[in-house]
Amino acid sequence: MNPLAYQFMIHAYAAAAIVALMAAPAGYFLVLRGQSFAGHALGHVGFAGATGALLLGLPPLAGMISVTVGGGLLMGLLGEKLAERDVGIGLVLAASLGLGLLFLGFFTASASRATALLFGNVLGVDAATLAALGAVCIVALGGLSLIARPLLFASLQPELAAARGVNVRLCGVVFLGLVGLAVAGAAQIVGVLLIFSLLIGPAATAQRLTARLYPGVLLCTALALMEALCGVTLAFYTDWPVSFWITALGAAFYAASHYRGRLAS
């Protein structure tokens, strides 16, 4: 069987590639800044937005994007220091989980749509959703490229960056807002419960293999693309969930990076 003979598979491959290209650079900076927990929390924040949109008869992606971006901005505003940041993220996460459960209790029209939000449904992506993902990807990558240099400076040497006139707090707030866009897109592939795998897995693996910025971002992007596209292909031939294959491949690559590190030492 040739998966490219089916239109839904072509849409799935395109969506997986778009999401991987969007999630990889955002995830790289998340790991670099020690904000992996924020990426995980934003997935649950997006679940509240998607279920709320379903209740209102709106597209789930629109609700997820609006709430994840708002949640990311709020997390950035609540605190930049590690202790303050974790408290702020935890508060936003707890509130969003409560809202998500409330909306899910009201939403009884289709259990399959709620399941798709939790675990992703890339094989059900239509042309309209694909176009929306492409637009979100352009905005997210464009915004990240604009703040990449001051964000890197603020991530590695925040005190020196502030002394040189970089608005460290603003960089953090804008960055988490852009992460919200990436999370909303990645949730279409792996769902809100497994968002951590695609957003953080390739970035963590890449940073174990190279400490250089640009090679690290390129390697992270290549790994994310490989996991997403191979995950879709394996799901087609095995009839197992795409999200399972993506998380399994991410775990395998990360374990291999540990093994390579031990051999190098």
Burial 57-68 (b: 16+ CB within 10 A, else e): eeebbebbbbbb
Superfamily of domain 3-192: ABC transporter involved in vitamin B12 uptake, BtuC (1.10.3470.10)
> What region does 165 belong to: left with phi over 0, alpha with psi -120 to 50, or beta?
left
pLDDT of residue 265: 43
d(CA 24, CA 186): 10
- Say which residue the tokens 């352009």 belong to: 138
Please name the residue ranges forming H helices in the chain. Answer: 7-32, 36-55, 60-78, 82-106, 111-119, 127-156, 158-163, 168-190, 195-209, 213-238, 242-264
- What span, in angstroms and rounded, lies between the C-alpha atoms of 169 and 76? 7
Cα-based angle 123, 111, 46 (whole degrees, multiple of 5): 70
Distance CA 243, CA 188 (A): 10
Environment class of 5 (CB within 10 Å of its CB; exposed 0-12, middle 13-18, buried 19+): exposed
* Buried/exposed code over 232-252 (b: 16+ C-beta within 10 A; e: otherwise): bbbbbeeeebbbbbbbebbee
Distance CA 255, CA 257 (A): 5
The model carries a pTM of: 0.86
Residue 85 confidence (pLDDT): 62
What is the model's pLDDT at position 236? Answer: 94
pLDDT of residue 263: 46
Tens place of pLDDT per residue across the chain (265 aa) = 799 999 999 999 999 999 999 999 999 999 998 888 888 888 888 888 888 887 888 888 888 888 889 888 888 887 655 545 667 677 777 777 778 777 777 765 555 666 677 777 888 888 988 998 899 999 999 999 999 999 999 888 988 888 888 998 899 899 999 999 998 888 878 887 678 788 999 999 999 999 898 899 999 999 999 999 999 999 999 989 888 999 999 999 999 988 765 544 4
How many other β-carbons are positioned within 10 Å of the β-carbon of residue 166?
18
Confidence at residue 137, expressed as pLDDT on a 0 to 100 scale: 92
Contact 202, 75 (CB under 8 A): no
